Amino acid sequence: MLSSTATEALRSQVASKWQESFSRINRDNPGISGLIGFSEAWALSVQFLYPQDIRVSPPPDADTYERNLIAIRPAFNLVSQCRRLPALLENFLEDMRKNFHFIEAEINEYMTRYDESENTNEIEALVARLVQWCHAWEPPQDLDSLGATILSSYTLNFQTRVFSALPANFTAAFKNLCRSLLAPPPYDEDGQPRQWDSSIHATTWRNFDFLGMMDRYESIIASVGYEYIEQHVLDTCTGEWSKPMLEDLRTWMSDRVVPWMLHVYARGATSADEARTMLQGVGSRFDFHINKTLCELRTREIFNIIIDYPDSLGALTDLRDSLHRTDQRQNLVKSLRNANRKRLLHPGADTKLILQQYVATIKCLRIIDPPGVLLYKVADPIRKYLRERPDTIRSIVASLVGDEDSGDSLLDESEPVQPLQQHEFEDYTDPNWEPEPTDADPEFRTKRSSDVISTLVSIYDSKDLFIKELQVLLAQRLLMLTKDGSDRVERERRNIEILKVRFGEAALQVCEVMLRDMTDSKRIDVHVQSQKTSVVHPMIISTHFWPALESSELVMPGQFQKLAEDYAREFTVFKPDKKLKWLPHLGTVQVEVELEDRTLSFDVPPLEAAFIELFSQKAVWQLDELMKAVGSVARSAAVKALSTWVDHGVLKEDPENTFILLEREEEGGSSGIIRDPSRLDSTPPDVPPVASVQQQQAEQMRVYWKFIEGMLTNLGTLPLDRIQTMLKFAPGYDQSVDQLAAFMEAARREGLVVVRDGMWKLNK
Amino acid sequence: MEQLTSSLAPPRSAPKSNVASSSQQVAGSVAKRLSSELMTLMMSSSPGISAFPKHDGNLFEWVGTIEGPSETIYAGLSFKISISFPPNYPYVAPTIKFDTPCYHPNVDITGGAICLDILQDKWSAVYSVQTILISLQSLLGEPNNASPLNPDAASLWGNPTAYKAQLMKYYRPITDSA
């Protein structure tokens, strides 16, 4: 019962719908004539819109098309009147779907040809062909016929189908095409770039735009631009450090890149201003990319750039500017640290070289980053490494006093001499105070004004080490002077005066005394000589102020002894309260050796002179006899001294350990050669006569010892682990508990500390 | 009303936390200064004066030792002092007192307080632990009898024998248990 009612209602509804549709299509025409008319119009419309295969039936020319359009318009109007346009569109799109395989086939043809030839012209042709298809199938768009809605849904539908029909490798092919389109015209014979003709590819660009490819492949087009920029930056800037390149690159971009950017990003711009606005976003992206590429390139090259400093100033300016725009500071630090580790901080590199590179790094990074955060991060490993090198202090001090022989000093002549900077404390009352940069480490200390020397000296925690080394070095240099070295003394004095500014007057007092000894010696010598002429010109030094000098048991034989004694007597007359203690092994002796057939003169060390003096007593000596005659000297030193005379052809060794004076020169040098060269190998290298300062390790430990002494003085007795934690107050303390235990044990053996029940205390 | 105050509360507390963090920074720079002073003091090897932080991790409390200068009445005696640095050091002088009882015109015998101009109105940021210790050491031999904290000692100063007896009556040698 219920169902029959429902069926009843349904039936009446269907009937009314039917009636409605009928009357709409029949348009109140008699009978079904209206219906027939609509049916014809529908068929015509479908026929007109039907997507043809343009390969077999090319689209009609414009005139024919226009005529056809006029003919079909009444049919369209009728369909539209009957409100059947949506159905027509649906039908049309369905026809298009069915026939789309024509286009697909053609796409495949082009793509196959492209795959074979890799010729981007194929792609260009394909795009042009797709535009043809699109135009051929396009429904008329004027308002009189079908209207814009149908056209736009057609366009969308067509593009969607095209994009889904394009094979995967089309993207790559498209990119290649863009690349060839965007490539600037080749340089002409004169090397001048040809005028960019922006209209060459305009059609293709319009085609791209028409098919909606510009939007879809925008990232690809941009990536072509990026790659183009990268290529250019790498080509022009790699290894070019002498001048800043960034400006040139910007000019290049506005000359060469902007024109094609106009095609891509400013299409449809009507005025220059409009184009400029449209280009603004992409322009700054490209500019950023130039900065980034350059920055990355320079980051890779940074180590060599630093080596080339100051010739690489341009690159550094570039780097500074591009770092401002791109956030690459961390990368720069990482790259430079890596390069330093690989290329600098290894046993193969000379300490002097490392120092030079360090100084160059300081200077370079100051240009890039004046506050010094980057420098702090980069320098840290170098400083740690240098601290472990035994000859670092020596090298720094040598360059401080300006070794003329080495030529390349670490010091910049132009840098003003200023006092060493101690750790500075933030002065918050300074009106120019600035906070530390955001990427600064917690330990970072602003070193705004500190000079290179301060930085080098600060590698070590205490400048005492430098002062000591300085004294040693000065002692060495002064002791090497011969009697007419007064200008050298003057030079040393100037050095010390300069260093006084850096290290302070008090620190260099000892050096001052050493220099005064030199002038005093001279004065005393003048006086003594005026009383009694002597060939001896001693250098009189104040033992307490000079570094420990190597002692020797050398006793000068014969006339030397007498000369020294005579001189000492005169000296005592002049300075009754002082006594000369000779160091006969230091100094040089000017000897003239008169032989039967020749007279030779030499400047030789005292030991050599002593030996040759002995040969004036008799012509043949045994090695042991010789050694006994000059007090006591090391065998190796004796052999070395004798070999000097053998080399000069004054002595001859025959047989071994027996030396004969050659009154007459022997023919043929072969006999003059020491028989057994292995004896010479044991000769110690020419060590400076000054006992060298303790190794840095020991020096570091000395610093720690001061701390241990300090804490034990004030805190009484302490267990080992407490000492270890308290030593954290000592800067740079990095010893393990075991190392400390060994150290304390050594101190105990020396009687400095005592230990009871694990508690250490000072031994008073 | 309650709503009003609660909505006001966060901005009120915000500046507070700022103050805290900036004072932490200041503490950092003071610690830097103190650690550098410690380094200088350790390396200076001035005879008879020494000081060291009391506990690891705290640079603001130090223990010092001063030996009486030779050829003074204090020769051969050692005195422990404690040094406490204010958070705004070096703009404000550290607080120093004798832990070992010190019979001296300018030292309070019970509390250990010291009357020394550079620790009070003459303080300047250029002074350091080392200069303070040296000043204290010389103060032992050359008291300022004009402004005594310990009038007995000041009056006895002219009589070395009696003075020494008083000094030794109060003096307690330093033990290792310190």
Residue B2 in any domain: the answer is no
For residue range A560-587, list pLDDT tens digits in order. Answer: 888 888 888 888 888 877 777 788 777 7
Q: What is the CATH number of the domain that holds B93?
A: 3.10.110.10
Residue at B122 is within a domain: yes
Q: Is residue B112 part of a domain?
A: yes
**Residues B149, B138: contact at Cβ < 8 Å?**
no
Q: Would you say residue B18 has pLDDT above 60?
A: no
Q: Provide mean pLDDT across the span A133-138.
A: 83
Mean of the per-residue pLDDT values of chain A = 78
* Higher local confidence (pLDDT), A688 or A257: A257
Compare B46 and B176 and report the one with higher pLDDT.
B46
The verdict on a CB contact (< 8 Å) between B51 and A710 is yes
- Is residue B45 a part of any domain in this protein? yes
Within 8 A of B32 by CB-CB distance, chain A residues are 423, 425, 445
pLDDT at B177 > cutoff 80: no
Q: CB distance A729–B59 less than 8 Å?
A: yes
Please judge whether A422 and B64 are an interchain contact, meaning their C-beta atoms are less than 8 angstroms apart.
no
Q: Is B9 on the interface with A (CB under 8 A)?
A: no
Max mean pLDDT among A182-191, A198-207, A677-686, A739-748 falls in A739-748
- Do A383 and A459 touch, CB atoms closer than 8 A? yes
More confident position, A255 or A102: A102
β-pairing, B49-55 vs B95-98, is unpaired
**How far apart are the C-alpha atoms of A289 and A648, rounded to whole Å?**
71
At A371, list the tokens: 């506050």
Task: Say which DSSP state A18 is in.
Answer: H
How far apart (Å, rounded) are the C-alpha atoms in residues A552 and A687? 14
Provide the residue type at A324 as one letter.
H
Q: What are the start-end ranges of the H helices in A83-184? A: 85-117, 120-137, 148-165, 170-182
Residues A187-203 have a mean pLDDT of: 58
Which of A33-37, B89-93, B95-99 is predicted least confidently?
A: A33-37
> Contact, B84 vs B95, CB < 8 A?
yes
Distance CA A345, CA A384 (A): 10
Nearest CA in chain B to A727: B56
pLDDT band at A693 (very low <50, low <70, confident <90, very high): very low
Q: Do B33 and A461 touch (CB under 8 A)?
A: no
Interface list for B 115-174 with A (CB within 8 A): 174
Closest CA to B79 of B59, B58, B109, B57: B109
Check residue A441 and give its pLDDT. 66
B-interface mutation test, from A421, A457, A729, most B Cβ less than 10 A away: A729
Binary contact (A423, B56; C-beta < 8 A): no
Question: What is the spatial distance between Cα A275 and Cα A269, in angstroms, rounded to a whole number?
Answer: 5
User: Would residue B176 count as lying in a domain?
Assistant: no
Residue at B109: amino acid letter? I
| Number of domains making up chain B | 1
Please indicate whether, in this complex, the C-beta atoms of B52 and A717 are within 8 angstroms of each other: no
> SS3 for A539?
coil
- Contact: A731, B62; criterion CB under 8 Å: no
Note whether B46 contacts A: Cβ–Cβ < 8 A: no
| Closest chain B C-alpha to A400 CA, distance in angstroms | 23
Give residue B5's pLDDT band: very low, low, confident or very high (50, 70, 90).
very low
Q: Is A712 exposed, middle or buried (0-12, 13-18, 19+ CB in 10 A)?
A: buried
Task: Give B63's pLDDT tier (boundaries 50, 70, 90).
Answer: very high
Expressed as residue numbers, the domain containing B88 is: 16-170
A726 in reach of chain B (CB within 8 A): yes
Which residue among B62, B65, B176 places its CB closest to the CB of A761? B176
Of the candidates A484, A591, A498, A483, which has an alpha carbon nearest to the alpha carbon of residue A539?
A483
Per-residue pLDDT band at A114 (split at 50, 70, 90): confident
Model pLDDT for residues A39-78, shown as the tens digit of each residue:
888 888 888 888 888 777 777 777 887 787 777 777 888 7
Residue B70 reports pLDDT greater than 60: yes
Reduced to 3 states, what is the DSSP secondary structure of residue A622? strand
Q: Say if B1 falls within a structural domain.
A: no
Mean pLDDT score, A731-748: 83
What residues of A are in contact with residue B33 (Cβ under 8 Å)? Answer: 423, 425
Distance CA A521, CA A534 (A): 14
Report the chain A residue with the minimal C-alpha distance to residue B174: A716
Q: Which amino acid is at B65?
A: T
The pLDDT tens digits of the residues spanning A755-764 come to 888 888 888 7
| pLDDT tens-place string over residues A214-249 | 778 888 888 888 888 888 888 888 888 888 888 888
Strands A753-756 and A759-762: antiparallel
The yes-or-no verdict on residue A449 having pLDDT over 80 is no
Q: What is the mean pLDDT of residues A162-184?
A: 81
Q: Is residue B7 part of a domain?
A: no
Size of interface A-B (CB pairs under 8 A): 72
**3-class SS letters over chain B:** CHHHHHHHHHHHHHHHHHHHHHHHHHHHHHHHHHHHHHHHHHHHCCCCEEEEEEECCEEEEEEEEEECCCCCCCCCCEEEEEEECCCCCCCCCCEEEECCCCCECCECCCCCEECCHHHCCCCCCCCCHHHHHHHHHHHHHCCCCCCCCCHHHHHHCCCHHHHHHHHHHHCCCCCCCC
> What pLDDT score was predicted for residue B9?
39
A713:B62 CB<8 A? no
- pLDDT tens by residue, A503-516: 878 778 888 888 88
At A599, is the secondary structure helix, strand, or coil?
strand
Least confident of A411-415, A523-527, A747-751: A411-415
**Is 0.90 exceeded by the ipTM?**
no
Q: Which helix (H) or strand (E) holds A761?
A: strand A759-762
> Which of B43, B56, B178 has the CB atom closest to A725's CB atom?
B56
Percentage, residues of chain A above pLDDT 70: 83
Model confidence at A606: pLDDT above 50: yes
Residue B83 reports pLDDT greater than 90: yes
Which pLDDT band, with edges at 50, 70 and 90, does B85 fall under? Answer: very high
Could you tell me if residue B151 is inside a domain?
A: yes
Q: Is the pLDDT assigned to residue A463 strictly greater than 90?
A: no
Can you give the pLDDT at residue B12? 41
- Give the per-residue pLDDT at A597: 79
Q: How confident is the model at residue B10 (pLDDT cuts 50, 70, 90)?
A: very low
Q: Which residues of B are catalytic?
A: 115
Is the pLDDT at A725 greater than 80, yes or no? yes
B140 has pLDDT over 80: yes
Rounded Cα distance, A584 and A128, in Å? 101
| Assessment of whether the complete model's pTM goes beyond 0.80 | no
A179-203 mean pLDDT:
61
Least confident stretch, A23-32, A86-95, A627-636, B109-118: A23-32
pLDDT for A528 beyond 50: yes
A589-594/A599-604 β-pairing? antiparallel
Asked if pLDDT for residue A534 goes beyond 60, the answer is yes
Tell me the β-bridge partners of A84.
none
Q: What pLDDT score does A419 carry?
A: 60
Contact (CB, 8 A) for A401 and A473: yes
Average pLDDT over residues B54-77: 88
Domains and CATH numbers, chain A: 24-216 (no CATH), 234-326 (no CATH), 328-461 (no CATH), 471-574 (no CATH), 589-682 (1.10.10.10), 704-762 (1.10.10.10)
Q: A471: closest CA among A490, A498, A496, A489?
A: A496
Taking the C-alpha atoms of residue A306 and residue A317, their distance in angstroms, rounded to an integer, is 12
Q: Is B23 an 8 Å CB contact of chain A?
A: no
Which among B33, B52, B57 is the nearest to A715, CB-wise? Answer: B52
Contact A726 B178 (CB under 8 A): no
Q: Which of A360-369, A388-397, A670-679, B49-58 has the lowest mean pLDDT?
A: A670-679
For residue A185, what pLDDT band results from cuts at 50, 70 and 90?
low
Report pLDDT for A679: 45
- At position A265, the amino acid (one-letter code) is Y
How many angstroms separate the CA of residue B121 from the nearest CA in chain A? 21
